[in-house]
Chains A and B, each alone.
Chain A
């Protein structure tokens, strides 16, 4: 019998216990994988190549303050700027105020919108139709599917920030690798209905000619308006999105604390199981020693067993995590975030397995060392 087979046999001698341990570890490691994938999606992922080439301009004070619409032409003069387009948060109410009927609605300029947001693809004829119809709108495919919208459908949005009822006609449906679940329409339509909306912009999206020039353009834009009555803050799309996440609170610390708790739980669980199974084998260890097995070998047998059990737990946990993440990417609101998180899984899974292996090693080291040191006679006398 080889040592590896011995370890395997021992690991499954008490099937129920091994299964419960693997289950317990799998759930802790599931949590760890899930949280770390989300963490990577937040803080490490840099977004698509197009996104890295884009800047968002907003009022320096906050998103709730407007910037003048004429800034657009001024921004266009900055070297490196290819396209500028306003993207204004309209909010409003579709059908009713229920959270499931909430999605992002923006007013923009169709002439430059798809040129700036290159990763959104739309058939050319639909884009043309949208440009021509001032009451026209385009929607994300995932969003259109959710409500069963077809080209030519009427979509009525009741304004709240802007007191106007938008009666839109769907002129196009665009697709993106990561669905953005948003509806876009002509800002001009809002301006005509609401006098105070005229010449107002919430944010501008800028497409820069190359990712290398992004920082230079950002500071050039902010400098241009530094002493204007409405100063601006220009940041990359990713930084802009992170701003929203930081509003949730200290998410980084939050994830860290819960991950630590999960790791400690794993240590306790494996430690507990190994202590139990080693104790009940005290007599066997003495027999092994009598047969001539060395201390190191016995130590290795137990540690190997713990690591094997922990690894199985880790693999099961991370597999459930990817299933959950894939499932969550279909969710209507947080979906895009989870689909990014699911993409990060391939980086996280090996780390989680490593954590599982190290936890197995650490938790078995002390009881296994104790067992390997116990005198043969004491061991043989031991009554389980």
Chain B
């Protein structure tokens, strides 16, 4: 017969101080792990959810990022004439020739300058990106020295309100609107007219990349291969989703650090939990012997103490996760290892983060509980009663 759970709960309540301290130790470990996982979850979303599977990104052969691109403008009409490209509202094929450049902007909090991506796009560029919504002001005008910025950039960088003037390249740019990229890579960008951007950075008569919006997924795949096979072009096509997928490697340093920190703190916490459980067992050695005399089996006692340890860890996990909730949605930035520019993302508590944190704590509780519980179950009844 199993020992009732209330026995463990009451025991934990009885030794409040000890329970709380151990639970807090585990909570701190869980908090650190949750913090790192939130960063990674937000970053992953910024890349993985980016890109429309129907958009085909075209760059120069061998080029790994839009920054490293560069092909002559006369290739755009050839691309536009390819079959399988969807038609826009105006009846033209949905194709946008673009330039991505990096500009250096001061952060709002005064911690220095950082690189921000500025994307110049063609007339159909906005229609290609249906997931992006304007939330203030208006879109940039064609042929104007105007840009729109993402909400995240608006909150992180100085002079990025509607109507503000930003100074970079060869002159001043008017901010006409703010958009919401929905947690995608667009959230780290500023957009403007492609010709204006190319002119500012002396890159006329060339394009960095082109986007083609296919009619359906099959057409997207075909387009991708057609671009690569066309000998006139010397270009390469890939799905926009594939492009961003490759860039998730930017999270690697944080992930690496996360593993080291998480593992080290977990080992420390397991030792602490083992200690607490040994103490819990030691205090109750007569009680345990009595339980045995009443007829509870060794297995029940082993299970009961492991369960208590797990309960302790779960309490810690709950405290840790709750304490981290206020950080949910906090926006922060890291740099994209491919483009040298800042990627803005929001820290996120996802279901997976909570699940992993709980499993993490569970494992700590299990490992910490096994040895003391084993010791408790193995004790000789007579010796324990005489204690």
Q: Do B332 and A249 touch across chains, with their CB atoms under 8 A apart? A: yes
- The residue on A at minimum CB distance from B100 is A64
A135–B188 Cα distance when bound, in Å, is 40
From the candidates B64, B101, B268, name the one contacting A265 in the complex (CB within 8 A).
Answer: B268
- The residue on B at minimum CB distance from A97 is B64
Q: Do B274 and A20 touch across chains, with their CB atoms under 8 A apart? A: yes
CB neighbours of A10 from chain B (8 A): none
A34–B260 Cα distance when bound, in Å, is 10
Cβ of B335 under 8 Å from chain A: yes
Cβ of B166 under 8 Å from chain A: no
Q: Do B261 and A31 touch across chains, with their CB atoms under 8 A apart? A: yes
Cβ of B259 under 8 Å from chain A: no
Q: A25-B268, A159-B62 are in contact. Are A99 and B21 (CB under 8 A)?
A: no
Q: Do A268 and B28 touch across chains, with their CB atoms under 8 A apart? A: yes
Interface string of A222-262 (1 = CB under 8 A from B): 00000001000000000000000011111000000110011
- The residue on A at minimum CB distance from B267 is A27
Q: A62-B102, A64-B102, A268-B28 are in contact. Are A27 and B334 (CB under 8 A)?
A: no
| Stretch among A106-114, A119-127, A272-280, A290-298 lining the B interface | A272-280
Q: Do A65 and B28 touch across chains, with their CB atoms under 8 A apart? A: no
CB neighbours of B60 from chain A (8 A): 163
- The residue on A at minimum CB distance from B64 is A160
Q: How far is the CB of B172 from chain A (nearest CB, A)?
A: 15
Cβ of A30 under 8 Å from chain B: yes
A40–B340 Cα distance when bound, in Å, is 24
Q: A65-B102, A163-B62 are in contact. Are A24 and B268 (CB under 8 A)?
A: yes
Q: Do A248 and B334 touch across chains, with their CB atoms under 8 A apart? A: yes
Q: How far is the CB of A69 from chain B (nearest CB, A)?
A: 15
The bracket for how many chain A residues form the interface is: 35 or more
Q: Do A28 and B265 touch across chains, with their CB atoms under 8 A apart? A: yes
- The residue on A at minimum CB distance from B275 is A20
A24–B271 Cα distance when bound, in Å, is 5
A28–B105 Cα distance when bound, in Å, is 38
A21–B268 Cα distance when bound, in Å, is 9
CB neighbours of A34 from chain B (8 A): 260, 264
CB neighbours of A198 from chain B (8 A): none
From the candidates A27, A93, A268, name the one contacting B21 in the complex (CB within 8 A).
Answer: A268
Q: Do B265 and A265 touch across chains, with their CB atoms under 8 A apart? A: yes
From the candidates B61, B170, B278, name the one contacting A20 in the complex (CB within 8 A).
Answer: B278
The bracket for how many chain B residues form the interface is: 35 or more
Q: How far is the CB of A379 from chain B (nearest CB, A)?
A: 18
Find residues 189-231 in chain B having any chain A CB closer than 8 Å to their own CB: 201-202
Cβ of A381 under 8 Å from chain B: no
Q: Do B278 and A61 touch across chains, with their CB atoms under 8 A apart? A: no
Q: How far is the CB of B201 from chain A (nearest CB, A)?
A: 7
Q: Do B115 and A161 touch across chains, with their CB atoms under 8 A apart? A: no
Q: A163-B61, A247-B115, A265-B29 are in contact. Are A63 and B340 (CB under 8 A)?
A: yes
- Which of B39, B60, B260 is most buried by chain A, counting CB atoms within 10 A of its CB? B260
From the candidates A26, A91, A196, A268, name the one contacting B24 in the complex (CB within 8 A).
Answer: A268
Q: A60-B104, A160-B64 are in contact. Are A246 and B28 (CB under 8 A)?
A: no
Q: A20-B274, A160-B68, A276-B18 are in contact. Are A262 and B265 (CB under 8 A)?
A: yes
A-B contact count (CB 8 A): 146
Q: A28-B265, A161-B68, A273-B275 are in contact. Are A261 and B334 (CB under 8 A)?
A: no
Q: Do B264 and A31 touch across chains, with their CB atoms under 8 A apart? A: yes
Q: How far is the CB of A160 from chain B (nearest CB, A)?
A: 5
CB neighbours of A384 from chain B (8 A): 283
A257–B112 Cα distance when bound, in Å, is 21
Cβ of B363 under 8 Å from chain A: no
Q: Do A62 and B18 touch across chains, with their CB atoms under 8 A apart? A: no
Cβ of B165 under 8 Å from chain A: no
Q: Do A248 and B335 touch across chains, with their CB atoms under 8 A apart? A: yes
Interface string of B325-350 (1 = CB under 8 A from A): 00000001111000111100000000
Q: How far is the CB of A287 from chain B (nearest CB, A)?
A: 19
From the candidates A16, A30, A257, name the one contacting B264 in the complex (CB within 8 A).
Answer: A30
A64–B348 Cα distance when bound, in Å, is 31
CB neighbours of A97 from chain B (8 A): 64
From the candidates B21, B261, B332, name the one contacting A271 in the complex (CB within 8 A).
Answer: B21
A159–B62 Cα distance when bound, in Å, is 7
Q: How far is the CB of B202 from chain A (nearest CB, A)?
A: 8
A21–B115 Cα distance when bound, in Å, is 46
CB neighbours of A27 from chain B (8 A): 264-265, 267-268, 271
Q: Do B62 and A158 touch across chains, with their CB atoms under 8 A apart? A: yes
Find residues 62-93 in chain B having any chain A CB closer than 8 Å to their own CB: 62-64, 67-68, 70
A17–B277 Cα distance when bound, in Å, is 11
Cβ of A23 under 8 Å from chain B: yes
CB neighbours of A20 from chain B (8 A): 271-272, 274-275, 278
Q: How far is the CB of B138 from chain A (nearest CB, A)?
A: 27
A153–B63 Cα distance when bound, in Å, is 27
Cβ of A85 under 8 Å from chain B: no
Interface string of A1-30 (1 = CB under 8 A from B): 000000000000000110011011111101
Q: How far is the CB of A203 from chain B (nearest CB, A)?
A: 13
CB neighbours of B67 from chain A (8 A): 64
CB neighbours of A144 from chain B (8 A): none
Show 24 A/B contacts (Cβ-Cβ < 8 Å), sorted by A: A20-B274, A20-B275, A21-B271, A23-B268, A23-B271, A27-B265, A34-B260, A60-B104, A64-B101, A64-B339, A65-B102, A160-B63, A160-B64, A161-B63, A163-B60, A246-B111, A247-B335, A247-B340, A247-B342, A250-B332, A268-B25, A269-B272, A272-B276, A275-B21
Taking A23-B271, A99-B252 as known contacts, 8 extra A-B pairs with beta carbons closer than 8 A to each other, sorted by chain A number, are A17-B278, A24-B268, A27-B271, A247-B334, A247-B335, A248-B254, A249-B39, A261-B28
Residues of A near any B CB (own CB < 8 A):
16-17, 20-21, 23-28, 30-31, 34, 60-65, 91, 93, 97, 99, 158-161, 163, 196, 229, 246-250, 257-258, 261-262, 264-265, 268-269, 271-273, 275-276, 384
